[in-house]
A and B are shown apart, each in its own frame.
Chain A
Amino acid sequence: DAGVTQSPTHLIKTRGQQVTLRCSPKSGHDTVSWYQQALGQGPQFIFQYYEEEERQRGNFPDRFSGHQFPNYSSELNVNALLLGDSALYLCASSLAGTGARWETQYFGPGTRLLVL
């Protein structure tokens, strides 16, 4: 049973550039959430995608955008990179639509982004 996978594992960019991070959800899952984890901090919610739509968004600027594909995989795009965007970006997948109030989120290993 394949878990959540993310690519790439590490990435180095310079200020002003754009970056795309990718996530494949756990087998059978249809929902993808993205979190940003700065060094020494807990993860912060960026947004969640379900049925190819952004279902909820956290307190992040429009430079952060995403997409979900028909196969449920997802991309996180960040434009005009700032030094402060350096962080570990975590993807979590879950299964929605079960009627349950709680949807267990399973995390991937993350992508470490360094902006110089």
Chain B
Amino acid sequence: AQTVTQSQPEMSVQEAETVTLSCTYDTSESDYYLFWYKQPPSRQMILVIRQEAYKQQNATENRFSVNFQKAAKSFSLKISDSQLGDAAMYFCAYYSGGSNYKLTFGKGTLLTVNP
């Protein structure tokens, strides 16, 4: 079974600085997708960024980028120029697709942004 591990329960960053959130996963699949979701206090889960395992190039979305290391099964999220609105719980998630339709989530990292 696939598992997703987020080893940092909490992280903090100063406004305008950069922070990296860690995620490792375990799978025997060769083709899959990885995601970072953000869950602010409003509770709504918002997709931040997606990475296809077959792509070697790391995904980027504005201030958000990932470091995908397939051999190491590592998928970290870098937030540059942190803003107060980035404060939220961040979840790493795995999806294998095909006939497996579920997202498997880690336990999350609570990010605090200090002004």
Which residues of A approach B to under 8 Å, CB–CB? 31, 33, 35, 40-45, 48, 55-56, 58, 88, 90, 92, 101-110, 112
Contact = CB atoms under 8 A, between A and B. Distances in A.
Contact of B102 (A41, A48, A107): A48
A109 B103 contact: no
Contacts of B33: 101-102
Count class of interface residues, chain B: 20 to 34
B28 interface: no
7 contacts: A43-B91, A45-B103, A48-B101, A88-B43, A92-B45, A102-B95, A107-B44
A109 B105 contact: no
Contacts of B107: 40-42
Nearest to B52: A102
A102 B100 contact: no
B104 interface: yes
Given A42-B91, A42-B107, A102-B95, A33 B101 contact: yes
Contacts of B45: 43, 90, 92, 107
A93 to B, nearest CB: 12
Given A42-B91, A42-B107, A109 B102 contact: no
A110 B37 CA distance: 15
A109 B42 contact: yes
